[in-house]
Structures are given as C-alpha cells and as structure tokens.
C-alpha cells in the first residue's frame, strides 16, 4: 500500500496542471510539533528557552515537520540556553572578545525540512544572546514571528531642552541607566556599555551619522530631574539640535542578531526583527538564502529608532543564490546588506603543493574558509587581479592557532605568482549571486548595499533614502577588511536614491565602485560589466553621482538625476565608460587616467 501511495504521489507531482492539489497533499502529511506541548507557555513571562529547545530537538527526528508557536510573547533568557563555540566573521578579535562561546536562544541543529511557524508570536530576548542559530540544516524556513529585546543593546537619549551650559535629555523607556559620581552609566540585563559608539539622528534633515556628543555628555556632571529626565552641565558652546536623538551602543560584538551557518536553502519570511545585538543576521558558509518580507526596524509603537548595533544582513563566504525581496530596513549603525568572501594572505609556501594562509583582519578569523574541492584564486594586491587558480585537496586547521590555515592543492602551485607576505588566496567556490528587489532602506549610518562577489548581482526596484554613506558600494579589498571581489556582472535598475552619501565617504557618491589596488590605470581593470540604468537619483549639494575606480564596461544610461545642474562623475583608471541617454544637467566628468569615456545624449528635464 505504501509503495502504491508513493507512486501516486510522484504521478501527482508530475502533473503541473494540479499545483494546488500537490501543495495541499504535502501539507496534510506534515507533522506538527507544538512548543506548548513541551512546556512553553505564551504570555507567562517565564524563561521558555529550555522548553522551546526541547521542541526543536524533537523536530530532528521528524524531517519535514512544522514547529508551531501559539500567538503571544515568549521570554528567552541566557540561563538554560545552548552554548557553543563558533567563530563568526566580522565580529570580534582575540582581545575584544577572547571567548567565542555563543549563547543561543533557539539552536536549530541538524534539522531537515523544518518550518518554524510563529503565528504572530514575539520572541522577547533578555541579556546578551544570539536569538536564533540555523546550524548545519537543510531546507529550514522561519516565518511569521517577531524578535525583540526587553533591554536593547542600544540606548537612546533625546535632547528635550538646550540652553547655554545646561542640557536636558529624555531617555527612552527601554534605556536603563544609573548615576555614579555624577556621571551617567548605561546599563542592561547583565551588561553595561563600556566602549561606547554614538550615532545621532537629527530630525531637521533626517540624517543619521557619527557623533561625538556622547563623548561630551559622558564627561559632564549629570543629575536626574525625574525618572527618564536628566540634566547635564555642559560647556557653554555645546549646542546640539533640540529634538535630536543619540543612539549609543557598545562596540564589542559578542553575539549576533541571528546566525545561519553551514546550512542549505534557509528561508526567512514574514519576520519582524526589532533589535539585534552585535552584528545582525549573519549567514556564513551557507548555500541559497532567501529573505522575503523581513522587516528589520523597531516596532512602530515602541518609539525607538535603532534596530541594529551593526549590519542588518551580513553574508560571509556563502554560495548559491541570495534573494532579498520586499524587505524593510530602518535604523542600523552599520551597513544594510554586506555580501563578501574573505581574502587570506599567504604567509609561507610549503613544498610544491602547499601553503599557509592567514586571516588578516582582527575581527575575522577562526572559521573554515576552505574545503576540499574548492577552487581558489591567487590575488595580487597591487592589481587586485586573480593571477592564477588552483583546486584544494587538503585543509589543515589548528585550534591553537585559529589565525592560520594550511592548504594543499591537487597540482603544483603556479610558478611566479605567489609571494608570501603579499599574495592573497580567495575562495571562488563560495561566492553567491545576489538579487535585491522591492526593499526600502533608511536611517543608516554607513552604506546601503556593500557587495563583493564575482557572480551576477541585480539590485532593482528599491528605495534608498538618506543613507549616510554610499547607497551601493562595490569593493575588492586586500588591505583593510580583506573582503574579496572583484565584481564582473552587476545591474542596478529602477531604484530610487534620495539624499545619500552625506557623510562624504567615497567622496559622497550615491554609487561607488572601489578597490584597494595601488596600480591604477585603464590597463588594470578590476571591476567590469556594470550597468546602472533607469534609476532616479536625487542629489543634495554637489555630491558625485558615481565614483568609479579601476572599472571597465561601465554603463550609466536612462537615469534621471535631480537636485544638481551639473552632476559629477569621478572616474579613476577606468575604461569603456558610457554616460548617455540620461535626464540630467550637463555632466561634469573628473577623468583620471581613463580610456574611451563617452558622454552623449543627456538632456535636461
């Protein structure tokens, strides 16, 4: 009978005219695991972490099951949570955070085909914790719930009255503090802000950027006028904008907002992520990731403006396809989306087939950046070109020295292109394609999208509003963060850009293509195949529209540029650039060591 049923099911799947029936048949066959059956009670305000973890663990024996929450609030505390050592890219150095033990609220390990159905539940986190980890899973979907923190890691103070020598601030109701020795200290659940980082939001221009205001206030005498109302004695010439809000958090990234590691086909759908400690939603060495209708922003009724201490969405060393569709992002102290690999520097050559490579940036190390069978490129930092490729046949990692990785290859190393202390190794296998569509991004203190992948990139139908840095930044780096590149197939189309670049990074350009190469000329092209078409770009002041370095086959056409009569394009060491068919004023092109730059057919509105 079971064999007959399986044959019938396969036959049904093959009939494309009956998709609804197939979906319904599949849904009826799925087991449902309810967290309530394991002791997790909504709206009880007791620690539900162990009960929820028991429900998750039960799903490991039921591939394809649905993990179901009843509506309501579930409180998650570090006590009783899973603790696991995990090295996460772009988080912390050995000095900043010697222990890599993560405290994980919901640890989904080794699951297959599981859907987490939240039914509108809220997971309320406490203390310092990584809310969710999808670890070594296949086909996991997280849907229809919210994540928030009882005490967010970011504190918020608003100037309510500004007068010479005296300033009164109101603290947000979720911001906790005490006063010691007439100095204000920001505290949380089991933590206090020790190394502060301050970003200020000014309502007059709706800008969100770095500020030294906390450096002033933290050194001034303060008294509490009433709960949540503080008066500072400040220098006479300190006159911030009344109504402006300071967001202050600790720079140490002990935890992340969510972790997707060593997993395949992870989907995040219909989620509200209201705050994230440390780095945001991190996918590391995972394959095929989808975010659809994910809202990373404070609850509209909370009164908060900050939703992440750093990036919102971060992809390190992923492959397959990344799809980010119809998402909303507001209030981050770093990038909205960052997609990259990691360049490791060769420190020694070990015989004909081997070498040792080192993680160079202080906050990225210790993770398995290569696997047997991976194709790697050897990169010359002076040119940022990939001089040769090889296939990995062996990987050696030493727990006592997590900074270095030993690699062996299936053929002798290419002669003449590897210089220890200079040459970098880039993993080409673990590079994804990227599609970002229908998203809104605002109140961001750095960049909108930072992408360094050689596979296809499509950024379309998005709204970038008042991004402090460049709205879209393309990099290729073997000097600072060592985030790999270059880009060779990117389309940016049908987007709206409003007042981006006001912190003047990358000369204040709305879109920037940059690279760390020191040999800059039209004969040394790093990025190529970039089309910027049919966008509306609203410039404030005389900021550049595009900054491009070492870029070839760059097309800027069909766009509308408003807010300036003389739109500026800065080109350094570029070749085969076309700026044509746009609605804008007379373009100014600052052209340094470029070849074949064509500007034509641009008209005023």
pTM of the model: 0.94
Angle formed at CA 281 by CA 335 and CA 283, multiple of 5 degrees:
105
Residues 284 and 410 in one domain: no
Three-state secondary-structure class, residue 25:
helix
Residues 135 and 216 in one domain: no
The percentage of residues in the chain with a pLDDT greater than 70, rounded to a whole number, is 95
Q: Which residues contact 478 (CB under 8 A, 6 or more apart)?
A: 343, 345, 379, 381, 384, 424, 516
pLDDT, residue 472, reads 98
Residues 130 and 235 in one domain: no
Q: Strand 463-467 vs strand 440-444: parallel, antiparallel, or unpaired?
A: parallel
Residue 441 lies in a domain: no
Reduced DSSP (H G I as helix, E B as strand, rest coil) percent helix, strand, coil of the chain, to 5: 10, 50, 45
Residue 338 lies in a domain: no
Cβ 35 vs Cβ 51: under 8 Å: yes
Q: Per-residue pLDDT tens for 114-129?
A: 999 999 999 999 999 9
Residues 140 and 289 in one domain: yes
Residue 587 lies in a domain: yes
Residues 546 and 473 in one domain: yes
pLDDT, residue 484, reads 87
Residues 268 and 319 in one domain: yes
Residue 440 lies in a domain: no
Question: Rounded to an integer, what distance in angstroms lies between the CA atom of residue 254 and that of residue 59?
Answer: 28
Residue 444 lies in a domain: no
- Hunting for tokens 């309320």 — which residue is that? 124
pLDDT, residue 485, reads 78
CA-wise closest residue to 253 among 91, 19, 28, 406: 91
**Domain end position, chosen among 199, 217, 250:** 250
Question: Rounded to an integer, what distance in angstroms lies between the CA atom of residue 190 and that of residue 173?
Answer: 18
pLDDT, residue 8, reads 33
Residue 189 lies in a domain: yes
The count of structural domains within the chain is 5
Residues 328 and 477 in one domain: no
Residue 173 lies in a domain: yes
Residues 201 and 126 in one domain: no
Q: Per-residue pLDDT tens for 72-122?
A: 999 999 999 999 999 999 999 999 999 999 999 999 999 999 999 999 999
Determine if residue 120 is left, alpha or beta; phi over 0 gives left, psi from -120 to 50 gives alpha, anything else beta.
Answer: left
Question: Rounded to an integer, what distance in angstroms lies between the CA atom of residue 185 and that of residue 35?
Answer: 38
Residues 474 and 493 in one domain: yes
Domain that holds residue 233: 155-250
Residues 491 and 410 in one domain: no
Asked if the peptide bond before residue 587 counts as cis, ω within 30 degrees of 0, the response is no
pLDDT, residue 64, reads 97
Residues 53 and 135 in one domain: yes
Q: Token digits for 536?
A: 């509306």
Question: Rounded to an integer, what distance in angstroms lies between the CA atom of residue 263 and that of residue 137?
Answer: 5
Dihedral (C-alpha) 520, 524, 530, 532: value to the nearest 10 degrees?
30
Query: What sign results for the dihedral spanned by CA atoms 449, 450, 453, 454?
Result: positive
Helices and strands per DSSP (H, E), number in the chain? 4, 49
pLDDT-derived band at 29, boundaries 50, 70, 90: low
Residues 140 and 159 in one domain: no
Q: Per-residue pLDDT tens for 259-315?
A: 999 999 999 999 999 999 889 999 999 999 999 999 999 999 999 999 999 999 999
Residue 566 lies in a domain: yes
């Amino acid at each position: 009978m079971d064999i007959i049923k399986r044959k019938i099911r396969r036959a049904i799947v093959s009939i494309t005219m009956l998709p609804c029936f197939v979906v319904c048949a599949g849904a009826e066959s799925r087991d449902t695991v309810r967290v309530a059956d394991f002791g997790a009670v909504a709206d009880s305000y007791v620690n539900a972490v162990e009960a929820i973890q028991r429900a998750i663990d039960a799903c490991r024996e039921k591939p394809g099951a649905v993990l179901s929450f009843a509506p309501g609030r579930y409180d998650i505390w570090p006590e009783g949570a899973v603790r696991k050592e995990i090295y996460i890219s772009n988080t912390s150095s050995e000095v900043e955070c010697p222990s890599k033990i993560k405290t994980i609220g919901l640890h989904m390990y080794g699951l297959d085909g599981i859907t987490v159905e939240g039914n509108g539940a809220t997971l309320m986190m406490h203390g310092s914790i990584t809310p969710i980890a999808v670890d070594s899973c296949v086909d996991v979907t997280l849907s229809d719930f919210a994540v928030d923190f009882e005490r967010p890691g970011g504190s918020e103070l608003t100037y309510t009255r500004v007068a010479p020598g005296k300033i009164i601030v109101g603290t947000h109701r979720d911001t906790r503090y005490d006063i010691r020795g007439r100095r204000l200290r920001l505290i949380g659940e089991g933590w206090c802000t020790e190394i502060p980082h301050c970003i200020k939001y000014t309502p007059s221009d709706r800008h969100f950027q770095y500020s030294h205001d906390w450096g002033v206030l933290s050194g001034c005498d303060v008294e509490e006028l009433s709960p949540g109302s503080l008066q500072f004695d400040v220098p006479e010439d300190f006159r911030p904008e009344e109504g402006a809000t300071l967001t202050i958090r600790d720079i140490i990234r002990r935890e992340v907002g969510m972790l997707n590691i060593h997993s395949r086909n992870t989907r995040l759908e219909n989620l509200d992520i209201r705050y994230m400690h440390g780095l945001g939603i991190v996918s590391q060495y995972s394959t095929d990731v989808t975010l659809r209708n994910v809202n990373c922003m404070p609850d509209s009724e909370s009164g908060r403006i900050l939703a992440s201490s750093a990036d919102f969405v971060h992809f390190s060393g992923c492959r397959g396809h990344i799809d980010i569709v119809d998402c909303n992002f507001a209030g981050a102290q770093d990038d909205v989306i960052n997609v990259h690999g990691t360049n490791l520097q060769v420190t020694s050559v070990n015989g004909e087939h081997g070498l040792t490579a080192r993680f160079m940036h202080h906050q990225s190390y210790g993770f398995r950046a290569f696997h047997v069978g991976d194709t790697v490129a050897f990169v010359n930092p002076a040119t940022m070109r990939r001089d040769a490729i090889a296939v990995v046949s062996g990987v050696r990692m030493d727990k006592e020295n997590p900074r270095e990785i030993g690699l062996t290859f299936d053929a002798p190393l290419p002669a003449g292109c590897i210089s220890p202390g200079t040459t970098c190794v880039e993993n080409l296998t673990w590079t994804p394609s990227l599609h970002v569509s229908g998203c809104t991004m605002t109140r961001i203190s750095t960049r909108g999208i930072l992408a360094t992948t050689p596979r296809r990139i499509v950024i379309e139908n998005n709204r970038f509003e008042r991004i402090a840095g460049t709205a879209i930044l393309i990099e290729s780096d073997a000097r600072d963060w060592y985030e790999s590149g270059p880009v060779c197939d990117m389309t940016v189309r049908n987007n709206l850009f409003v007042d981006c670049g006001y912190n003047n990074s990358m000369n204040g350009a709305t879109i920037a293509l940059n690279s760390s190469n020191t040999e800059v000329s039209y004969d040394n092209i790093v990025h190529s195949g970039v089309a910027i078409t049919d966008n509306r770009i609203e410039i404030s002041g005389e900021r550049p529209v595009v900054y491009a370095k070492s870029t070839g086959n760059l097309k800027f056409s069909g766009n509308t540029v408003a807010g300036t009569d003389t739109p500026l394009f800065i080109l350094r060491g570029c070749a085969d650039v076309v700026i044509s068919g746009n609605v804008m004023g007379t373009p100014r092109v600052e052209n340094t060591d470029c070849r074949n730059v064509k500007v034509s057919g641009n008209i005023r509105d």
